[in-house]
Structure 1
């Protein structure tokens, strides 16, 4: 299933969003947890720039730093060192209130567990980011994004009345409603069967191709990663490899060959 072409490209409605530069940029980003002998080096100097209108998958073995990478890139966690820029705005030293506002207005999130509020209708769930941002709920905008994900007739339903795939499509509509600079997806197909996962990945691919969205997706699945323009491979907090437009077989082979670099400063 593909998105229907919308009226406005992603990011166009974001307040104070600069017009140029990468959608996501990390420079010298490290993240450590704990102290002394118990210190964990989750990220070890990430240098990366992802252009607007691109789809990037991030893969790696358990403990490689995938989740920490996504959290730092999305402003959900602060790096120990280095800088993060989203849509041209540096967020590293941003105060929590401004950072929360930025996440609500200029970022979209899609999670494995859907994270829909069961007491709200589909339409109300989609409009929630606008409400949280203090904006007037725009039912026409909700109808637009629900049409794009093929759920026009489900606006009045509640999440419990939908299948898992339909709930994830609602989550994608919610992520698109603010026309964000970047959509961050964390294992978005982890709870779905193969056919439904393919539909959801097709929606994310179409968000990039038709709406100009930027998607950064963490996944363990080579088939899911094959929908992306590029795959970044993480191991022990480093980006150790990358693959442009790879198929699932190539991606699986790169994953199998992952090794931890023995030099400092490995990056993209």
Structure 2
């Protein structure tokens, strides 16, 4: 619930100041370490990031660069070792687990590679699930509109197992958007899809940004997928190593090749 003066009432009824106006995601000095002593792994080594609302950002990097850890910390699925994370202006770093759960249900959307639909529920019930979990009134008319937006208006009563992989991922996109979230986090959303179907799903995410004002943060290994984004950010060794605005798939692939070569050479030199 928003109050006057740009403040938000949190789950424990305290007032918390908004972050920088117009930003959907803010990470300041975020570090995530695993292990201790000589075996410590610095998955994130001091990440600073500010993403405006209504933008589509892709995050890429070589294997082991910290992409998954970044997404988990940014989405409140994992707690950083140090630093600050704000989503939609709300500081989430010190939240209790029940507060984080409430925030994820009501203010974030997720699209995963494996679809993560519940097979026993209908398509409509899967789309409405975030509203149900957040304790909101299940708005069937809104679900109908979302399914029409993703081209599945005639599939509301079907079960996920009756749909193709691409159709299931469209359901997942509709589910992610149903609560009008502050941010949609997409983790390799086209990894299990063929090229044509992947383009259809990415087009839906692009359309959500352009027509609904959604904010999308997508982790991907695919330069063709990243080319749908407004900006591509490159991770290497737990820190951002540059970005590319409105890059083509070829430009993105070239930057990734150079980055992979550079990090590989550094690893050999350190061995």
Q: Is this a same-fold pair by TM over 0.5? A: yes
1:204: which partner in 2? 205
2:237: which partner in 1? 236
2:125: which partner in 1? 124
> Aligned partners of 2:109, 2:220: CA distance in 1, in Å?
17
1:5: which partner in 2? none
Asked if 1:136 is matched to 2:133, the reply is no
1:266: which partner in 2? none
Scaled by the length of structure 2, what TM-score is found? 0.89
> Paired residues, what number?
247
> Aligned partners of 2:201, 2:145: CA distance in 1, in Å?
18
1:265: which partner in 2? none
Post-superposition offset of 1:141: 1.1
Tell me the alpha carbon deviations over residues 94-139 of structure 1, each in whole angstroms, 9 at most, x when there is no partner: 1111111010000000000000000000000000001111112111
Q: Which runs of 5+ in 2 are unaligned?
A: 1-7, 11-17, 264-271
Asked if 1:81 is matched to 2:82, the reply is yes
> Aligned partners of 1:136, 1:206: CA distance in 2, in Å?
26
1:59: which partner in 2? 60
Post-superposition offset of 1:82: 0.3
> Aligned partners of 2:134, 2:145: CA distance in 1, in Å?
19
| SS of aligned partner of 2:23 | coil
The two structures, once aligned, show a CA RMSD in angstroms of: 1.5
Is the radius of gyration larger for structure 1 or structure 2?
2
Cα distance change on mapping 1:197 and 1:39 into 2, 3 Å? same
1:68: which partner in 2? 69
Tell me the alpha carbon deviations over residues 241-268 of structure 1, each in whole angstroms, 9 at most, x when there is no partner: 10011000000000011134xxxxxxxx
> Aligned partners of 2:135, 2:24: CA distance in 1, in Å?
24
> Aligned partners of 1:69, 1:227: CA distance in 2, in Å?
20
